[in-house]
A and B are shown apart, each in its own frame.
Chain A
């Protein structure tokens, strides 16, 4: 049986609020296979985004183990964790978080500044990623000159430009209208099916979840039943 790409074991996460400790995740166990497209659903405060952040190495759990492609990321020092994120994970956020002073192609090429690729190679790969998301003709546009759906496409191009195996998407359609949302979800589905990217997506949208191959429900920091 192949090793799952994501394996969480007894993950607990809590943070201090004043004198009190607020528990967000409780002894959570989760395995996601390579090439899966998982939708994480649940009410606000159920711990979906926290789980996503832990899997993406954006924060560390209070206790427990998180292995991604066999690598125990909870033990990595900050710089190694950053290097791992640069090489292995792409992030897509609800509000895109593109840099407003950079053009679409420069936003896409931003993660490649961390590589040893030449300027020409970086430009070529950024252009290819933009082409893949259907925005080749908008490469010189600033984010403010693009629609919400187009900005999210640029963000997806930025997430895949370094060719990571894992895509972490935090409500990628939460700020979009239905049509734009469907286009983004179809794009993610294409990346999953044709480029075999493993995708973990948090969403409140039942329709969005239908694009995923697996839907996980969370409540009060625990995973409920899984539906495929």
Chain B
């Protein structure tokens, strides 16, 4: 036995209690890892792959549409390299729980605007060849095990078809890939012209918003000004901004959710402080005679206090480490679904370091009082009390 194994033996005193405390800590730190990754996603912790793009939306509400004449006019402005209309399609696959980002886009314009979306030539050729064709992000194709040429039915829930039905059918042309951390949505891309041909009359020739790519070296603000001033006096004025600014604005829209998530986390950790404190205090009271005995054998007051503090820190850090490991193990499973919503979901080592820092603080907060009491413990009084 050495001092390290002596301390480790302490955790075997009440195995069930140790396991339950570690489980509580693990769950709290797993929650921390998840919420930190979600917050990072909401804050737009993503890259644009070095491509400068603008997002053009209706000025007064993101639910207003833009006429397609706007999109064509934008494409002719100086400094604009390409433009694609985008529409939020909604809908679901098979059952209302199976949803994903579905976007009608300009088949050529989209991949010009998003050159960082990687599609193989054959798939792209098939996409251009048929109006009913769709290109789908590889994660979705893999998840649903779709095959090229397969007919994929979607049930609309925003846009009815011209014939009054809500049943849409598409044919899979292939898949596309995006780099890790890319802002490009992992979406189900259908052709705008097919959407426009099929959709009910009152939606035709309209887009939800547009994404514009700029000519290399072009001043983004100058193009923003020229777009917004062009439609200043129209019935559909626009609000243009860079993709980064748009992402930040979207994040701010859901900022309260982030705040609520952080508040929940705060409550969890506050409860955890009370819980861990309770466990450590209970353990201290049970071991008063042991600490007194150790001191009688010649252990210094500071050594006994350090042992109590070290045990508490070790408990908190081990619990946090379990939570971190569980987080990283769970990440691939939750990433696919959360990335659909957030555009970006990734746990990082920075989150892990933050978790360990919190665990250290937790250990210090919870362990300080018992450590001080162990330090001040009078041997004679403690033994007298225990011996009755």
User: Min CB distance, A59 to chain B, in Å?
Assistant: 4
Interface residues of A in 64-102 (CB under 8 A from B): 78-79, 82-87, 91, 93-95, 97, 99-102
Known contacts: A59-B379, A99-B290, A101-B12. The answer to whether A82 contacts B387 by CB under 8 A is: no
Residues of A participating in the B interface, judged by any CB pair closer than 8 Å: 49-50, 53, 56, 58-59, 78-79, 82-87, 91, 93-95, 97, 99-102, 106, 109-111, 113-114, 119, 122, 158
- B158 at interface, CB cutoff 8 A: no
Report Cα–Cα, A114/B294, bound state, in Å. 11
User: Min CB distance, B18 to chain A, in Å?
Assistant: 11
| Interface of chain A: mostly helix, strand, loop or mixed | helix
- B198 at interface, CB cutoff 8 A: no
Do B298 and A78 touch across chains, with their CB atoms under 8 A apart?
no
Do A87 and B293 touch across chains, with their CB atoms under 8 A apart?
no
Q: What's the A-B contact tally at a CB cutoff of 8 Å?
A: 77
Residues of B within 8 A of A100 (CB): 13
Residues of A within 8 A of B322 (CB): none
Known contacts: A59-B379, A86-B298, A91-B297. The answer to whether A119 contacts B12 by CB under 8 A is: no
Report Cα–Cα, A101/B386, bound state, in Å. 18
Do A58 and B296 touch across chains, with their CB atoms under 8 A apart?
yes
Do A82 and B299 touch across chains, with their CB atoms under 8 A apart?
yes
When the two chains form the complex, which single residue of B297, B301, B378 contacts A86, counting CB atoms closer than 8 Å? B297
Known contacts: A79-B300, A101-B12. The answer to whether A58 contacts B380 by CB under 8 A is: yes
Residues of A within 8 A of B383 (CB): 58, 93, 97
Interface residues of B in 2-46 (CB under 8 A from A): 2-3, 6, 9-10, 12-13
Do A85 and B296 touch across chains, with their CB atoms under 8 A apart?
yes
Do A102 and B1 touch across chains, with their CB atoms under 8 A apart?
yes
Report Cα–Cα, A99/B13, bound state, in Å. 10
Do B297 and A111 touch across chains, with their CB atoms under 8 A apart?
yes
Listed by A's residue number, 19 A-B pairs whose Cβ atoms lie within 8 Å are: A50-B380, A59-B379, A78-B300, A82-B295, A83-B298, A84-B298, A85-B297, A86-B297, A93-B387, A95-B289, A97-B289, A97-B292, A100-B13, A106-B9, A109-B1, A113-B1, A113-B2, A113-B3, A119-B2
Do B293 and A97 touch across chains, with their CB atoms under 8 A apart?
yes
4 A-B pairs closest in CB distance: A86-B298, A97-B293, A59-B380, A58-B379
Report Cα–Cα, A79/B380, bound state, in Å. 16
B371-388 CB contact bits vs A (8 Å, 1 = yes)?
A: 000000011100110110
Do A97 and B380 touch across chains, with their CB atoms under 8 A apart?
no
Report Cα–Cα, A84/B6, bound state, in Å. 22
When the two chains form the complex, which single residue of B13, B294, B380, B384 contacts A101, counting CB atoms closer than 8 Å? B13
